[in-house]
């Protein structure tokens, strides 16, 4: 068993942490209030090589990170950058669009998209969810009708991270509803396609610094070479989802570390009844619970990343990680608010925002109930 980062991994972690501390700090409190995305921070990430960390140099990336290094980098971003919306946007593009492109894309598809995505020139979104198909992701109703030279897509998508700003969409549709999941296919669609309408940003509880939106596809024509992988290969994307969950969740582990450090400082410095509030057992135990959640989440995360680095299947482990981490982040965000008392409730102290942002994690990439379904079915119970 090995519980340490290698020298190279540690160096990369330190570099990303230093970059984020110096460059990804801004008036996120105000932007959360106005619901504004920061193009400046997005571009700084691209210039440093975040978007390109897992992309080969031939496609404009840095090829600097395997799964373990990606997790390490994302954890450091989560610890140093308080803009959870920006981090979700990065994750949504990197793992839900770039990774499928790298695995399933043709040379021409990769050449025409990845350099622009890595450089920050473009943003991309993965549109899967529909008004009538959320957890039942394989029940999607958007159709892709085959024509002599391509496909015509019709349908609606919703809750798509980054949609209002995206230049490129990876859209999942069914080519043959009778085949269920094996009848699905994904298509690369440019924003300027006349058959695609992108809605305005929808209001939401948290993660307000990244816009979400709807897509409407009406007789949306794409060439045959817009299809990513073969028909039915969408099912193969499932393995990729494990990686996605790992990396998205790494940012939350970083955020929990930052949250704990803030609470320790506050519990030691805030005085009531002539004593630091941390000397009261009720407060101290809350901080202890946050530490236990952080450590259990972190080691679950590292184990899943390690399994993926060895090309091992990690379906149940990833479901356990997704479930435990997303729920723990919510619980710790509640504890952080209680440690800060009334100030925790005030926007300017930047404590309550974590709770609003954390709630999103309970739903995306499979809700907590769906993770429990996966775990219990892997145990042969359900
Ligand atoms: C922050 C955030 C980012 C997102 N980003 C994207 C994105 O980029 N692209 C995209 O396509 N989608 C995105 N989504 C949508 C997300 O994937 C869906 O919200 C999610 O799949 C759940 O679907 P639903 O909201 O329709 O809920 P539903 O599926 O309608 O579920 C409602 C409730 O029923 C429960 N439930 C449903 N089925 C079962 C079952 N079989 N067993 C037990 N309980 C069940 C659920 O757990 C939930 O509690 C995002 C959502 C959020 C919150």
Is 2 inside a domain boundary? Answer: no
For the annotated catalytic residues, the residue numbers are: 244
Q: Give the global pTM.
A: 0.97
Residue-level pLDDT at 122: 98
| 336-352 confidence digits (pLDDT tens) | 999 999 999 999 999 99
Instruction: Indicate which atom in ligand 1 lies nearest the CA of residue 135.
Output: 29
Same domain, residue pair 251 and 370? yes
* Helices of type H across the chain: 7-23, 28-34, 39-48, 67-80, 84-93, 99-104, 107-119, 237-269, 281-309, 315-339, 352-361, 368-378
Mean pLDDT over 354-358 rounds to 98
Ligand 1 proximal residues by C-beta, below 6 Å: 92, 125-129, 134-135, 159-161, 207, 360, 363-364, 367, 369-370, 373
pLDDT value of residue 172: 95
Tokens 């775990």 correspond to what residue? 375
Q: Name the strand (E) or helix (H) holding 124.
A: strand 124-127
Domain assignment present for residue 230? The answer is yes
Q: Which residue has the higher pLDDT, 276 or 237?
A: 276
End-to-end CA distance of the chain: 33
**Predicted pLDDT at 2:** 82
Name the nearest CA neighbour of 234 among 185, 188, 189: 185
Mean pLDDT of all residues in 47-56: 96
CA of 204 to the centre of ligand 1 (A): 14
User: Which residue minimizes the CA distance to atom 52 of ligand 1?
Assistant: 364
CB 191 within 8 A of CB 70: no
Query: What domain range is 259 assigned to?
Result: 237-378
Mapped to the 3 state alphabet, what secondary structure does 345-371 carry? HCHHHCCHHHHHHHHHHCCCCCCHHHH
> Closest by alpha carbon to 187, among 228, 149, 218?
228
Same domain for 366 and 257, yes or no, is yes
| Strand 196-198, strand 168-174: pairing | unpaired
Among the three residues 72, 88, 123, which one is the final residue of a domain in this structure? 123
The reply to whether 320 and 218 lie within a common domain is no
Please give the Cα distance from 224 to 277 (Å, whole number).
64
- Tell me what the mean pLDDT of segment 370-374 comes to: 96
* Nearest-CA residue for atom 23 of ligand 1: 134
Provide mean pLDDT across the span 282-303: 97
pLDDT above 90 for 239:
no
Rounded distance between C-alpha atoms, residue 207 and residue 114, angstroms: 26
Q: Do 67 and 144 fall into the same domain?
A: no
pLDDT in tens, 172-229: 999 999 998 889 999 999 999 999 999 999 999 999 999 999 999 999 999 999 999 9
Please check whether residue 1 lies inside any domain of the structure. Answer: no
What is the mean predicted confidence (pLDDT) over 51-61?
95
| CB of 124 closer than 8 Å to CB of 186 | no
CATH number at residue 82: 1.10.540.10
Q: How many domains does the chain have?
A: 3
Rounded to whole angstroms, the Cα distance separating 154 from 47 reads 37
What span, in angstroms and rounded, lies between the C-alpha atoms of 358 and 352? Answer: 10
Q: Convert the pLDDT of each residue in 297-330 to its tens digit.
A: 999 999 999 999 999 989 999 999 999 999 999 9
Average pLDDT over residues 116-126: 98
Mean pLDDT of 38-51: 98
Q: Whose CA is nearest to atom 32 of ligand 1?
A: 135
**pLDDT for position 362:** 97
Q: 364 CA to middle of ligand 1, Å?
A: 6
Average pLDDT over all residues of the chain: 95
Q: Are residues 129 and 117 in the same domain?
A: no
Confidence (pLDDT) at 382:
82
What confidence tier does 16 reach under pLDDT thresholds 50, 70, 90? Answer: very high
CATH number at residue 244: 1.20.140.10
- DSSP state at residue 208: T
Please tell me the predicted confidence (pLDDT) of residue 138. 87
In percent, how much of the chain has pLDDT > 70?
Answer: 98
Query: What DSSP assignment string belongs to 179-207?
Result: GGGGGEEEEEEETT-TTEEEPPPPP-SS-
What does the alpha-carbon distance between residue 276 and residue 269 come to, in Å, rounded to a whole number?
Answer: 6
Q: Which of 181, 202, 234 is the last residue of a domain?
A: 234
Residue 245 scores a pLDDT above 90: no
187 lies in the same domain as 146: yes
Among 89, 123, 157, which residue terminates a domain?
123
Residues 242 and 371 both lie in one domain: yes
- Measured by CA distance, the residue closest to atom 48 of ligand 1 is 367
pLDDT of 234 > 70? The answer is no
Q: Which atom of ligand 1 is nearest to the CA of 373?
A: 42
């Amino acid at each position: 068993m090995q519980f340490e980062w290698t020298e190279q991994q540690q160096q990369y972690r330190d570099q990303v942490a230093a970059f984020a501390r110096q460059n990804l700090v801004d008036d996120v409190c105000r932007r959360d209030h106005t619901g504004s995305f920061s193009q400046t921070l997005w571009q700084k990430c691209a210039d440093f090589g975040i978007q390109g960390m897992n992309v080969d140099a031939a496609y404009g990336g840095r090829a600097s990170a395997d799964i373990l290094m990606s997790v390490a980098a994302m954890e450091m971003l989560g610890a140093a950058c308080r803009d959870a919306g920006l981090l979700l946007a990065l994750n949504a593009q990197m793992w839900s669009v770039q990774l499928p492109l790298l695995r399933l894309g043709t040379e021409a598809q990769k050449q025409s998209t990845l350099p622009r995505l890595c450089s920050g020139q473009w943003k991309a979104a993965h549109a899967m969810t529909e008004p009538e198909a959320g957890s039942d992701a394989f029940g999607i109703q958007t159709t892709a009708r085959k024509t002599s030279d391509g496909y015509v897509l019709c349908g609606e998508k919703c809750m798509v991270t980054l949609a209002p700003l995206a230049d490129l969409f990876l859209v999942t549709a069914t080519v043959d509803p009778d085949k269920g999941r094996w009848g699905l296919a994904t298509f690369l669609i440019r924003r300027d396609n006349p058959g695609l309408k992108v809605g305005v940003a929808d209001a939401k509880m948290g993660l307000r610094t990244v816009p979400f939106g709807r897509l409407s596809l009406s007789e949306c024509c794409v060439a045959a070479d817009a299809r990513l992988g073969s028909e039915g290969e969408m099912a193969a994307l499932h393995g990729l989802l494990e990686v996605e969950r790992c990396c998205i969740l790494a940012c939350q582990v970083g955020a929990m570390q930052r949250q704990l450090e803030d609470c320790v400082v506050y519990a030691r410095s805030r005085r009531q009844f002539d004593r630091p509030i941390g000397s009261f057992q009720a407060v101290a135990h809350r901080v202890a619970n946050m530490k236990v959640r952080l450590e259990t989440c972190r080691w679950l995360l590292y184990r899943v990343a390690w399994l993926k680095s060895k090309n091992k299947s990690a379906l149940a482990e990833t479901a356990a990680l997704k479930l435990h981490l997303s729920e723990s982040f919510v619980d710790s965000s509640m504890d952080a608010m209680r440690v800060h008392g009334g100030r925790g409730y005030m926007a300017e102290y930047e404590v309550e925002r974590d709770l609003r942002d954390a709630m999103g994690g309970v739903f995306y990439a499979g809700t907590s109930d769906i993770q429990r379904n996966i775990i219990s079915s892997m145990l042969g119970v359900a």
